[in-house]
Structure 1
Amino acid sequence: MAKNPVRTDDEVAPVAATGSRGLGPSQRRAAIAAMRDQELDVLVVGGGIVGTGSALDAVTRGLSVGLVEARDWSAGTSSRSSKLVHGGIRYLEQLNFALVREALIERGLLLQRIAPHLVKPVKFLFPLTHRVWERAYIGAGMAMYDAFSWTGGRPPGVPHHRHLSRTQLYRAIPSLKKGAMIGGMTYYDAQVDDARYGASVARTAAYYGAHVATRVRVEGFIKVGERVVGVDAQDLETGERFQIRAKQVVNATGVWTDDTQALVGERGQVHVRASKGVHLVVPRDRIRSTMGMILRTEKSVLFVIPWGRHWLVGTTDTDWNLDKAHPAATAKDIDYILDHVNEVLAVPLTREDVEGVYAGLRPLLAGESEETSQLSREHYVAHVVPGLVVIAGGKWTTYRVMAKDAIDEAASALDERVPKSVTEDIALVGAEGYQAAWNQRAAIAARTGLHTARIEHLLNRYGTLASEVIALIEQRPELSAPIPGADDYLQAEIVYATTHEGALHLDDVLARRTRISIEAWDRGVSAAPVAAELMADVLGWDAEHRQLEVDTYLERVRAERESQTMPDDESADRVRLEAPEIVQAV
């Protein structure tokens, strides 16, 4: 592999039309120094979708903002969702109309204004198994779903629902088992690469002036009397301990909310319960269908979601009280999903069809119900103690509203008058000009020598910032080669993730900046050495550290595979925790 030096974020000129700002190693050092050396208006703790959204909301109101994350952007729940931006059609049956309407308005915003390069329409089948009454009942719900999507003052960005006869249904989905359904309805929602979106929100916040840094762990809160005035933090990359002072601290740590609250030394008012959701990744050719599906189960719903050259099939909904950083899927979870999807498939899926498995935790507001599927998906914001705001609960689709509410609460305690939220009109970096770039994709391909399909791939991951990835390839043509075992991704994307998107470790790149860890048959084993060498050129790793990164990643893969053969959560958790964290090994 060529050893030509790669320019860092300081040296690569931004695209003038977007004002891009990279999240490279030097930016991280500068952000930590800025947070250490000044008092901020707002410090956000937690780099999931709500935390990054809160930082963006605060900085675009003119506040001085810091954002710290103990691991990587979206390393927890926010990278392990069903990857849907949706209203939650099942909440209609629970009569939670306000939540559905709010989510559908946000869906339209993300599709058309905030991130059209990352959020795309996706078509679903809602199956019918009973004659006459079910079509009328579900049809009324679908009509309401469509109507709510228009209430935000702009078109919904997706087509309305339509009815399918049995003949039309089986023509559209040849893989369906005969007699499984008597007809159906199609409707649209949207999908997103959740991890890529979260990193893009963090990068957008940095573009507007927020100081953002991953691998910074909050170890305690600084208090003056009863008031929180900052945090004690540690840079997990260097071991340095320092303080960050802030007028208001926002706790946006999701399923870790209770743990973070415990650092205050007082019993918090908000309690979050973790619900485990498992998804399987299977090849696209295993299910012949022109659309996704939503299937009812005895506990909740099961989605079959198109995902590039794959399908995502899930999810489960069970209580989880073990390690929050690495929720483990069990053999029972996998069998549950396979058994339910196979009820409608003519050719059943087997374990051998499963390319990847991932498990995530939903942060649900604790309530009276013993069933996690019945707990609220609404969110809660409060000043639990002076100077400390907590935001908890909610769902991925409504992250922007949650972030707005959290910063509204923080702003109410600041002395100065703070402008209202403007994130409804703030596009993520790479979004402005995306439609024009998409229309020009053939011309871009001709100019660069890359295949049009590659240009489309880059535009749908980076938007107009694809020009920066292409610039790397022009600088080093060998970076146009695909990653071993993961042909969808180019080597330039690994370099770019390190110079511009804040990736510090191999796992950051293979699990989140790309989705190689769940999409590749070998789960990234063959990609790991190549990706580590590409990262080493930017981050200055020597041969020993590079091998450590690879070995740590391979151990993660081994532990995850073995945990997925275990019969219960306890044994799966024990096996998964045998794999060390890279920050523990460095």
Structure 2
Amino acid sequence: MTTTVLTPQQRTDSLRAMTEETFDVLVIGGGVTGAGIALDAASRGLSTAIIEAQDWASGTSSRSSRLVHGGLRYLYNLDFKLVAEALKERGRLLTVIAPHLVEAQPFLWPLKTPVIERAYSAVGVGMYDALAVIGAGGKKTVPIQHHLSKKGALRRFPEIKPSALCGAIEFYDARVDDARLVITLVRTALKYGAQAASRVKVTGILKDARGHASGVEAEDLETGEKLTIKAKRIINATGVWTEQTQDMAGGSGGLKVLASKGIHIVIPRERLKAQTGLFLRTEKSVLFIIPWQHYWVIGTTDTAWHEQLEHPVPTSADIDYVLAHANEVLDTPLTRDDIIGTYAGLRPLLQPKVLDESKSTKVSREHTVTEVIPGMVAIAGGKLTTYRVMAEDAVDFALGAAEAKARPSVTFDLPLLGADGFEASVNQAERWGKKYGFDADRMHHLVRRYGSELPELLAAIDEDPTLARPLATAPQFIRAEVHRACTVEGALHLEDIFIARVRLNSEAPDRGGSEVDEIADIAAAALGWDKETTDKEKANYRERIAAELAAQQEANDAAASAVRMEAPDIVAGEVH
């Protein structure tokens, strides 16, 4: 019997199935790429298992700019195919796959010279719009560009320095809660029969008599139990851990990946009165100022990272860099006192060549799939926006041309959980709000998080009306959201709730410290923790908070990483 909930019991059942069956596909890695692969494979009718060494989305996929975008800057490198592909995927996410999680977002592109820059920028953004319409079969999924005078631009974004622009172009991309997208992908894969377990670490790759990959040796990090999981095909989707995972297989194949750190700062929504985001080109990359319902996200950086991979952290210098670039265009400068949150992630930068050029390989501009050893493939590179295409490529490659043709991907037209009936749920929001005493702001928040699954959360409130109460020190969330994180969304530990589900770790100045007791009480009731376990969870998360806050005061990566690693993980040995 299939399920759509990630719970401790589901995890136990999945692990049992993993040790008893031989799967068509085993996916290693529970970020957006691995989750997408699991859904692609399962929805083709392949028996599928997915394991992740930490929590779902714990790496890059919970630490991104939270954008679904075509990559306007790539047009200036003439990467038309890449941009067209990303815009096509953006359109599908907005309209079919995840309209509840992906929301259209306007951005201003400030112009500094009145004629030449406006002309070439208009052509670039016009091409961006045209590619989006073509990718959507002739339909507009977001509004097209709009040219603004200096006065018009300042009306849309009053905080821009008047000297920083002579006008602007307003264009559209989209935003997404990256971690919620991943968790929803895993849950949708469960719907189609996949088995899934977080905090399961691969310790070795099994091979048959021919030397082909035939499964993995693994450890359940929650219990210490050793597991053997058999599979006909293994897909390595571990991002910055790609080389570590494929090295277990031996052989000469695989990918070479470098880690690049990107950091973001978060400031309160009321700090800027703007009605639109901001897109700025910098000397190295781009800087986005992105509005969310209750805050702004500003980033990012792009610097080589040579420290441990589990817990990248921003340094004091990183924070200064982002503030400095934002303040180049803001009339009232942002200061550290404005910052309510920070986070850092590692991009898996794919190196130009695969390790063994003699092996078959599929290369796109952004991602590559190649054979590690027979029966095991690796995929890396890419971006969150194109996760579905990456997943399709990885499964096609693993199956081989003939079987891939016989079992084509169906995810282009496949809604995620919460997507079917989303518009009807939007239409019910006012009525539900009146029934439960929630205002329009609260209902927008809930509908955008849960889509057509929102009635399930409301049913939990019907059973326990105390779940309707806002969290005492984080009233943007209600207690039911914490309860659902534990009973539906796969949170096993307190940190899982704060980091990837009720995201106070990056959206509150104390990283959720003032909510530890209340959230731990809700989690304890939902997950059956005794007092000793609850106290351990609270102490561990508080240590993490202290380490993260201390790390961002350090001047360089090595010092910041060392400080961060002083806080132990709640589960030892969480590495891929």
- TM bucket, shorter chain: over 0.9
1:467 aligns with 2:455: yes
Distance 2:488 2:367 in 1: 32
Pick from 45, 69, 86 the counterpart of residue 52 of structure 2.
69
Q: Deviations over 1:413-442 (max 9, x none)?
A: 897974100001110011100101101211
1:441 aligns with 2:399: no
Secondary structure of 1:290 counterpart: coil
Pick from 490, 494, 497 the counterpart of residue 502 of structure 1.
490
Distance 2:283 2:61 in 1: 26
1:345 aligns with 2:333: no
Code of the aligned partner of 1:584? A
1:53 aligns with 2:36: yes
Alignment coverage as a number of residue pairs:
562
Residue pairs, 1:14-413, within 5 angstroms: 21-152=4-135, 153-224=137-208, 225-367=210-352, 378-412=366-400
CA contact (8 A) 1:59 1:210 kept: yes
- Post-superposition offset of 1:77: 0.1
Code of the aligned partner of 1:179? S
CA contact (8 A) 1:60 1:422 kept: yes
Code of the aligned partner of 1:209? G
CA contact (8 A) 1:108 1:155 kept: no
Distance 1:453 1:416 in 2: 45
Code of the aligned partner of 1:258? E
**Corresponding residue number in structure 2 for 1:372:** none
Distance 2:394 2:138 in 1: 25
CA contact (8 A) 1:125 1:186 kept: yes
Secondary structure of 2:572 counterpart: helix
Distance 1:571 1:259 in 2: 24
Secondary structure of 2:560 counterpart: helix
CA contact (8 A) 1:261 1:267 kept: no
- Post-superposition offset of 1:309: 1.4
1:430 aligns with 2:418: yes
Percentage identity across paired residues of the two chains: 50
CA contact (8 A) 1:247 1:414 kept: no
Code of the aligned partner of 2:21? Q
Residues 383 and 156 (structure 1 numbering): CA distance in 2 closer, same or farther, change over 3 Å? farther
- Post-superposition offset of 1:21: 2.1
Distance 1:308 1:385 in 2: 47
CA contact (8 A) 2:396 2:404 kept: no
Q: CA RMSD in A?
A: 1.7
Distance 1:284 1:497 in 2: 25
Pick from 466, 481, 485 the counterpart of residue 493 of structure 1.
481
Secondary structure of 2:162 counterpart: coil
Residues 568 and 512 (structure 1 numbering): CA distance in 2 closer, same or farther, change over 3 Å? same
CA contact (8 A) 2:243 2:254 kept: no
Structure 2 alignment gaps of length 5 or more: 354-363
- Post-superposition offset of 1:298: 1.1
Residues 506 and 136 (structure 1 numbering): CA distance in 2 closer, same or farther, change over 3 Å? same
Distance 1:324 1:183 in 2: 42
CA contact (8 A) 1:258 1:268 kept: no
Secondary structure of 1:487 counterpart: coil
Distance 2:107 2:440 in 1: 27
CA contact (8 A) 2:133 2:141 kept: no
- Post-superposition offset of 1:178: 2.3
Code of the aligned partner of 1:289? A
TM value normalised by structure 1: 0.93
Residues 106 and 420 (structure 1 numbering): CA distance in 2 closer, same or farther, change over 3 Å? same
Structure 1 alignment gaps of length 5 or more: 1-9, 11-18, 369-375
Residues 236 and 316 (structure 1 numbering): CA distance in 2 closer, same or farther, change over 3 Å? same
CA contact (8 A) 1:61 1:418 kept: no
Distance 1:414 1:267 in 2: 26
Residues 580 and 187 (structure 1 numbering): CA distance in 2 closer, same or farther, change over 3 Å? same
TM value normalised by structure 2: 0.95
